[in-house]
Amino acid sequence: MGRFVILLAVLMMLQSVLSIVQVKNYQRFIKKITTEQAGSDYDFYTEVAKGRLLRTIVAVVVDKEGKVIQCYCCSGLTIFAKFKEDPAYQGVHLAEFYSKNNQGTQVSKIEEALSKIYSRKLEAVT
């Protein structure tokens, strides 16, 4: 019983340390992107799309019309995952993902997150 308690305590400490590392990596990434885009007319949004087991975090830089300038994705076990730029979404309007998601067609987790960002952008306007 004593070994189980020690193992449990070690696992809890490890989880805490890994969570701190994850938060620091996230903060470093956000700071890098916001510094790069400082003074521009672009907006920066982040969104999380949750799956059954894994999550996908999407960070996107869009212009005033809602066209994607840069898209970064972090998926998998987020403790070990890093943000990677995904050029496949550059130049696409967020409205396309929103309409695709509302039509009931199957969308990826990244597209789901981009649809949520557009929805949030609409709420800010109205």
Residue pair 62/46 in contact (Cβ under 8 Å)? The answer is: no
**Among 53, 55, 61, 101, which residue's Cα sits nearest to residue 85?**
61
Pick the CATH number of 2-125 from 1.10.10, 3.90.1010, 3.30.1380, 2.115.10: 3.90.1010
**pTM for the whole thing?**
0.80
pLDDT at position 67: 92
Q: Kindly state the tokens that stand for 113.
A: 């997150």
Q: What is the pLDDT of residue 125?
A: 61
Give residue 100's pLDDT: 82
64-69 — which CB contacts under 8 Å span 24+ positions? 65/93, 66/93, 66/94, 66/95, 66/118, 66/121, 67/91, 67/92, 67/93, 67/94, 68/92, 68/93, 68/94, 68/114, 69/42
Count of all residues that appear for the chain in the document: 126
Q: Give the pLDDT of residue 31.
A: 93
Give the model's pLDDT for residue 78: 59
pLDDT in tens, the chain (126 residues): 889 999 999 999 998 998 898 889 889 999 999 888 888 888 899 999 887 778 889 999 998 888 999 999 988 775 677 889 999 999 999 888 888 877 777 788 888 889 888 888 776 665
pLDDT at site 38: 81
| Coil vs helix vs strand at 70 | strand
Q: Domain-by-domain residue ranges, the chain?
A: 2-125
